[in-house]
Amino acid sequence: MQTLTIAFVAGARPNFPKIAPMLAALRAYPQVTPLLVHTGQHYDPELSSMFFEDLGISEPDWMLGVGSGSHAQQTAAVMVEFERRCLEQTPDAIVVVGDVNSTVACALVGAKLHIPVVHVEAGLRSGDRTMPEEVNRLVTDTLADLLYTHCYEGDDNLRAEGVADERIHMVGNVMIDSLMKVRDRAEAPDLDPEWIIERGFGLITLHRPALVDNEASLRPILAALGRISESIPLIYPVHPRTLARMKSFGILEEDAEPPLALPGTRVLLTAPIRYLQFLWLMDRARLVVTDSGGIQEETTVLGVPCLTVRENTERAVTCREGTNRLLGVDPAVVEAAAAEVLRAPMPDLDQVPPLWDGNAGERIAEHLVGWLNAKKEAPAG
């Protein structure tokens, strides 16, 4: 029986719910040693510790600690440190997930060191190359030896780009595995109970630089949220970057710290919260307003209306087979869509995309171990 060492790379908090199901599934394969790599692209010691606890993940084996910086600085720093580790302990494969800078950086290192690269959540395309994530997706999928997709649309995108069928495998959505596993353990956050009456609040996650780094875009969308909050209170776990922008634009006082209401509104700004608490809120919300990719998928499975404040989405399947509506960034459109959702009953969701069933991690583990064993046993040359 072949022994295998597989490095799993995470750079940001949303990567961990994608990796956790694969690590859990590989416990059934004693010949496999997983290495959890945290690049430190996004890192908060307290939040990371809670996230690992919520998902049942052990502490990282390799902590690269690269920190923040420009896209070039961050990608280069991850490459330098990850290459050093791979030269010290060469894994049999590198598994990258999603589309953050760490994903493309570690894929580049693997390709140049001739270590097989596996991309989980491959084939997603927004068609917008002004988005750094889209560039990361394109480059990673070009370099990866094995491409695990989570919907047939991903397969189609890859084939349209000339990718051979033998590199593409539709396995389902690993992030939904994590959601289903811990949904029953979700817990209410420590907020005033008046804010979290089931189906009596909306949930907000807006954090993308294109929206929050520009005062001309941030102020109008916050004003729209304020008007929506006249009909239903809104809970907004605010990213530290967004909080800093609100202060620098004069929307909040310099010494303002969550939890607090956005001035003149029923929008409650909270600090970032742990995964199980955020899941509790999302599962009970009347609607979610977001610019996140993963939340479009999670709300689809939970049956919660999702309003996506972006011009495009790489998760179009959630608009066809889920609860997601792609609105663009016009605050008036967002406000009108929220009013329409609040007038309608909760959706009666009768289908989700194929294989979003909680078993993607097991499918990946079985296929990946077999694929790597076959590669090891193949004659050289």
The answer to whether position 350 is within a domain reads: no
Q: In this structure, are residues 19 and 36 in contact, taking their beta carbons and an 8 Å threshold?
A: yes
Q: Which two tokens stand for residue 223?
A: 């004003």
Nearest one of 284, 300, 287 to 335, comparing CA atoms: 287
Q: What is the pLDDT of residue 243?
A: 95
The answer to whether position 48 is within a domain reads: yes
The answer to whether position 179 is within a domain reads: no
Q: How confident is the model at residue 338 (pLDDT cuts 50, 70, 90)?
A: very high
Residues 322 and 371 in one domain: no
Q: Tokens 């959702």 map to which residue?
A: 341
* The Cα angle at residue 35 between residues 369 and 277, in degrees rounded to 5: 105
Residues 97 and 204 in one domain: no
Q: How confident is the model at residue 49 (pLDDT cuts 50, 70, 90)?
A: low
Whether omega for the bond prior to residue 259 falls within 30 degrees of 0, making it cis, is yes
Residues 106 and 50 in one domain: yes
Residues 156 and 206 in one domain: no
Tens digit of each residue's pLDDT (9 = 90 or more) over 359-373: 999 999 999 999 999
Stretch 288-300: mean pLDDT: 95
The answer to whether position 337 is within a domain reads: yes
Q: In this structure, are residues 10 and 59 in contact, taking their beta carbons and an 8 Å threshold?
A: no
Nearest one of 101, 139, 105, 109 to 122, comparing CA atoms: 139
Instruction: Report the C-alpha gap between 134 and 120 in whole angstroms.
Output: 15
Q: How confident is the model at residue 347 (pLDDT cuts 50, 70, 90)?
A: confident
Instruction: Report the C-alpha gap between 213 and 378 in whole angstroms.
Output: 51
Say how many C-beta atoms besides its own lie within 10 A of residue 371's C-beta: 16
Q: In this structure, are residues 189 and 280 in contact, taking their beta carbons and an 8 Å threshold?
A: yes
Residues 320 and 220 in one domain: yes
Q: Is the pLDDT of residue 12 over 90?
A: no
Q: For the chain, what is the total number of helices (H) and then of strands (E)?
A: 15, 14
The answer to whether position 210 is within a domain reads: yes
What is the rounded average pLDDT for all residues in the chain? 94
Please confirm, yes or no, whether 207 is among the known catalytic residues: yes
Tens digit of each residue's pLDDT (9 = 90 or more) over 228-282: 999 999 999 998 889 999 999 999 999 999 999 999 999 999 999 989 999 999 9
Residues 364 and 338 in one domain: no
Domain that holds residue 88: 4-173+356-377
Hey, what's the torsion of the CAs at 119, 44, 206, 283, to 10 degrees? 80
Q: How confident is the model at residue 381 (pLDDT cuts 50, 70, 90)?
A: low
Q: Which residues contact 203 (CB under 8 A, 6 or more apart)?
A: 234, 235, 236, 281, 282, 285, 287, 288, 289
Q: What is the pLDDT of residue 47?
A: 57
The answer to whether position 371 is within a domain reads: yes
Q: What is the pLDDT of residue 377?
A: 83
The answer to whether position 349 is within a domain reads: no
Largest CA distance in the chain: 70
Residues 228 and 104 in one domain: no
Q: How confident is the model at residue 58 (pLDDT cuts 50, 70, 90)?
A: confident
Q: What is the pLDDT of residue 376?
A: 83
Nearest one of 268, 273, 250, 248 to 258, comparing CA atoms: 268
Residues 143 and 12 in one domain: yes
Residues 60 and 153 in one domain: yes
Tens digit of each residue's pLDDT (9 = 90 or more) over 149-171: 999 999 999 999 999 999 999 99
Q: How far is CA 223 from CA 265, 322, 353, in A?
A: 9, 28, 34
Residue predicted with more confidence, 58 or 254: 254
Q: What is the pLDDT of residue 151?
A: 96
Pick the catalytic residue: 71, 114, 169, 207?
A: 207
Q: Is the pLDDT of residue 68 over 80?
A: no
Residues 60 and 147 in one domain: yes
Q: Where are the alpha helices (DSSP H) in the chain?
A: 16-25, 45-55, 71-88, 101-112, 132-143, 152-160, 174-182, 209-212, 215-228, 240-248, 275-284, 294-302, 317-320, 331-343, 360-377
Q: Model-level pTM?
A: 0.93
Output the domain CATH number for residue 41: 3.40.50.2000
Q: What is the pLDDT of residue 75?
A: 94
The answer to whether position 351 is within a domain reads: no
User: Which of 13-27, 41-55, 201-215, 301-315 shows the lowest per-residue confidence on average (mean pLDDT)?
Assistant: 41-55
Instruction: Report the C-alpha gap between 16 and 359 in whole angstroms.
Output: 16
Residues 149 and 246 in one domain: no
Q: What is the pLDDT of residue 45?
A: 58
Orientation of helix 275-284 relative to helix 174-182, angle to 10° = 90
What is the count of structural domains for the chain? Answer: 2
Tens digit of each residue's pLDDT (9 = 90 or more) over 190-199: 999 999 999 9
Q: Is the pLDDT of residue 318 over 60?
A: yes
Q: Which residues pair with 308 in a beta bridge?
A: 290, 326
The three-class DSSP label of residue 152 is helix
Q: What is the pLDDT of residue 48?
A: 63
DSSP symbol at 64: -
Q: What is the pLDDT of residue 378?
A: 76
Q: Is the pLDDT of residue 46 over 70?
A: no
Nearest one of 225, 227, 246, 244 to 236, comparing CA atoms: 225
The three-class DSSP label of residue 276 is helix
Q: Which two tokens stand for residue 364?
A: 């990946």
Tens digit of each residue's pLDDT (9 = 90 or more) over 214-239: 999 999 999 999 999 999 999 999 98
Q: Which two tokens stand for residue 205?
A: 């996650």
Residues 140 and 100 in one domain: yes
Q: What is the pLDDT of residue 122?
A: 98
Q: What is the pLDDT of residue 35?
A: 97
Tens digit of each residue's pLDDT (9 = 90 or more) over 173-182: 999 999 999 9
